[in-house]
Structure 1
Amino acid sequence: MLFPLVHDDPHALGGHRLVARLGSGGMGTVYLARSAAGRTVALKTMHAHIATDPAVRTRFRLEVDAARVMGPVHGARVFDADPLAETPWLATEYVLGPSLDEAVSVAGPLPEPAVRALGTALCAALAQLHASDVVHRDLKPSNIMITAEGPKIIDFGIARALGDDRLTRTGTAAGTPAFMSPEQATGLEHTPAGDVFALAGVLTYAATGHGPFGSGSHADLMYRVRYADPDLTGVPPALLPVLAHCLAKDPADRPTTDALAARLRTGEGGFADRLPEALLMEIARRVGGVWSDAPHRLPAPPGHGLAATLPSGSQPPSPSPSVLSRRRLLALGGGSVLGAAAVGAGTWAWLGHKDTDDPKPHATTSKGPAWDLLWQVQENSISDPLIPPAPLVLDGLLLVGENGMQGLDPATGAVKWPDPEVWFMRRAASDGKQLYAADYTTVESDPLRVSVIDPATGRLREPFSELKDLRAILFGTQLLCATADAVYLVGGRGTHTGTSFGKDQTWFLLGIDVRSGNKLWEVPLPARPDKSERLHFLSARAVGKHLVLVQQSAEGEPRLVVHDALTGRALWNKPLDGKQSALSRARVAVDDRHVYPAAGELTALGLADGKPAWRFQGQAPTARFGPPAVKDGVVYAVEENRGMVALDASNGTLRWAEKSRAVPFEDLDTPPAVGVGHVYAYSTAASGLMAADIRTGAVTRPFKAAKARYFAHPSAGRLIALGDEYTAAYPLS
Structure 2
Amino acid sequence: MFTPLTHHDPARLGSYHLTARLGSGGMGTVYLARSDSGRTVALKTMHARSAADPVLRTRFRLETDAARVIGGEYGARVFDADLAHETPWLATEYLIGPPLDEAVRLNGPLPERTVRAVGARLCAALARLHDSEVVHRDLKPSNIMVTADGPKVIDFGIARALGDDRLTRAGSAAGTPAFMSPEQAAGEEHTPAGDVFALAGVLVHAATGRGPFGTGQAADLLYRVRYAEPDLTGVPAGLLPVLLPCFAKDPRQRPTTDRLCALLGGGEQDFADCLPEPVLADIARRAADVWRVTPHRLPPPAGEAGEDRGDASVGTRAGMSRRRLLSVGGGAALGVAAAGAGTWVWFGRRGGSEPARPTPPTVSAKPAWGLLWQVSADFTDPPVPPFPLLLDRLVVVGGTDLKGVDPRTGKTLWADPEVYFGHRTVTDGARIHTLDYTLDKADPLSLCPVGLADGRVGDPYLELKDFHGGLHGTQLLCASGNAVYVVGGRSSRPIDSSRNDTFRAGQSWHLVALDVHARRKLWEVPLPARPDGSTRLHFLSAQVSGERLVLVQQSADGATRLVVRDTGTGRLLWDRPLDSASPSSGRTRPAVDDRHVYPAADGLLALGLDDGKVVWRRGKGTAYSPPAVHDGVVYAVESGRGVVALDAGGGESRWAEKGGGATTADLAEPPVVGVTHVYRRASSRLRAVALADGATSRPVDAPATARYFAHPASRRLIALGEGYAAGYPLL
State the TM-score, normalizing by the size of structure 2: 0.48
Q: Larger Rg: 1 or 2?
A: 2
State the TM-score, normalizing by the size of structure 1: 0.48
